[in-house]
């Protein structure tokens, strides 16, 4: 069974590689080569390769423990890679701490959003980046906050409301607006739709498309294949800390799930099999 799984993965990688090479001749804005990260004896990431182009949504999928969050933390400057190289805008860079990543133009929206609920929207967007430290320039901060939110066509009733009074989708919007404050080139979203309802999820996916249309590279982590397929231009699968294939969003659910889990025999594949088996019969009946 393992053998067959590896075969399936190998073929998926081959086909996706060919697609990716044909689709993009430009230099990627962010590119990782052979990135490894060890925590003691545990290899959380092994030889990771990842390219993100401007105006592209790359979905990062994988099972629990696949290394998605570690990869995000490496790119956010929270962890430093054990080996491998990261290049940004064609130049090799070192992300020593979170502010280094931020100043370079890599913004991160963490899964728990990291908002202060007791502060209003403007204060949250500008947290740590306030203008005029000894006499806060509230007017220009408020104007910029409205501009950012309007660019995202966000629906926030009042930027002077505390974040505690906002819905989950609105909070996600505030977190994304905050990450855009410093005009980043790449924005990473960790599980942006995990805690959201149907309408709010749609809102956030719209938001991701708008961010992409502004020419930013987007890395989106998600467990939800529907969401991934809705907005992603490429789907990068991680498994046990290694690359396990690059797919196009129209790849079948079965392909994605087997790449993620490493198993070809599961409920998704069984159902696909049953459907395939049923199809000729149906055609015969129609005929």
Which of 10, 14, 96, 116 lies at the binding interface for another protein (CB under 8 A)?
116
Q: Which is nearer to another protein, 61 or 113 (CB)?
A: 113
Which of 165, 252, 266, 279 lies at the binding interface for another protein (CB under 8 A)?
165
For residue 106, give the nearest of 46, 49, 188 by alpha carbon: 188
Told to check if 195 binds another protein by CB under 8 A, we report: no
Which of 2, 90, 134, 277 lies at the binding interface for another protein (CB under 8 A)?
134
User: What count of Cα atoms within 13 Å lies in the side-chain half-sphere of residue 109?
Assistant: 31
Q: Please, what is the minimum distance in Å from the beta carbon of residue 123 to another protein?
A: 6
Q: Which is nearer to another protein, 55 or 98 (CB)?
A: 98
Told to check if 183 binds another protein by CB under 8 A, we report: no
Please name every residue paired with 186 in a beta bridge, in sequence order, or none if there are none: 106, 217
**CB contact burial 83-119 (16+ within 10 A = b; e otherwise):** ebebbbeeeeeebeeeeebbebbbbbbbeebebeeee
Q: How many angstroms separate the CA atoms of 227 and 180, rounded?
A: 22
Which of 55, 84, 98, 168 lies at the binding interface for another protein (CB under 8 A)?
98
Which of 151, 158, 209, 273 lies at the binding interface for another protein (CB under 8 A)?
158
Q: Please, what is the minimum distance in Å from the beta carbon of residue 77 to another protein?
A: 11
* Axis-axis angle for helices 253-261, 2-23 (nearest 10): 120
For residue 204, give the nearest of 186, 183, 226, 185 by alpha carbon: 226
CB 100 within 8 A of CB 180: no
Told to check if 157 binds another protein by CB under 8 A, we report: yes
**In angstroms, what is the C-alpha Rg of the chain?**
21
Told to check if 155 binds another protein by CB under 8 A, we report: yes
Stretch that binds another protein, among 9-17, 41-49, 123-131, 188-196 (CB under 8 A): 123-131
Q: Please, what is the minimum distance in Å from the beta carbon of residue 177 to another protein?
A: 14
Helix, coil or strand: residue 265: coil
Told to check if 7 binds another protein by CB under 8 A, we report: no
For residue 166, give the nearest of 113, 121, 201, 198 by alpha carbon: 121
List of residues contacting another protein (CB under 8 A): 98-99, 102, 110, 112-119, 123, 127-130, 133-136, 138-140, 142-143, 146, 150, 155-162, 164-165
């Amino acid at each position: 069974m393992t053998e067959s799984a590896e075969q399936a993965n190998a073929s998926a990688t081959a086909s996706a590689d060919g697609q990716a090479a044909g689709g993009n001749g430009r230099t990627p804005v962010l590119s990782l080569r052979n990135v490894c990260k060890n925590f003691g004896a545990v290899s959380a990431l092994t030889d990771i390769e990842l390219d993100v182009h401007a105006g592209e949504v790359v979905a990062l999928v994988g099972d629990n423990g696949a290394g998605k969050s570690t990869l995000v933390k490496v790119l956010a400057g929270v962890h430093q890679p054990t080996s491998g190289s990261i290049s940004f805008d064609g130049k090799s860079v070192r992300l020593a701490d979170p502010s280094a990543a931020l100043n370079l133009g890599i913004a991160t929206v963490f899964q728990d959003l990291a908002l202060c609920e007791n502060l209003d929207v403007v204060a949250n967007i500008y947290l740590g980046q306030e203008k005029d430290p000894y006499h806060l320039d509230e007017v220009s901060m408020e104007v910029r906050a409205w501009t950012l939110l309007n660019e995202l066509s966000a629906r926030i009733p009042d930027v002077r409301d505390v974040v505690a009074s906002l819905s989950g989708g609105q909070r996600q919007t505030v977190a994304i607006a905050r990450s855009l404050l410093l005009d980043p080139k790449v924005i990473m979203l960790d599980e942006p739709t995990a805690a959201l309802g149907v309408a709010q999820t749609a809102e956030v996916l719209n938001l991701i498309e708008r961010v992409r249309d502004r020419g930013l590279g987007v890395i989106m982590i998600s467990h939800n294949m529907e969401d991934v397929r809705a907005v992603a231009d490429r789907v990068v699968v991680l498994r046990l800390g290694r690359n396990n294939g690059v797919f196009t969003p129209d790849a079948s659910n079965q392909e994605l799930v087997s790449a993620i889990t490493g198993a070809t025999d599961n409920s998704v594949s069984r159902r696909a099999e049953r459907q395939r088996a049923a199809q000729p019969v149906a055609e015969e009946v129609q005929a």
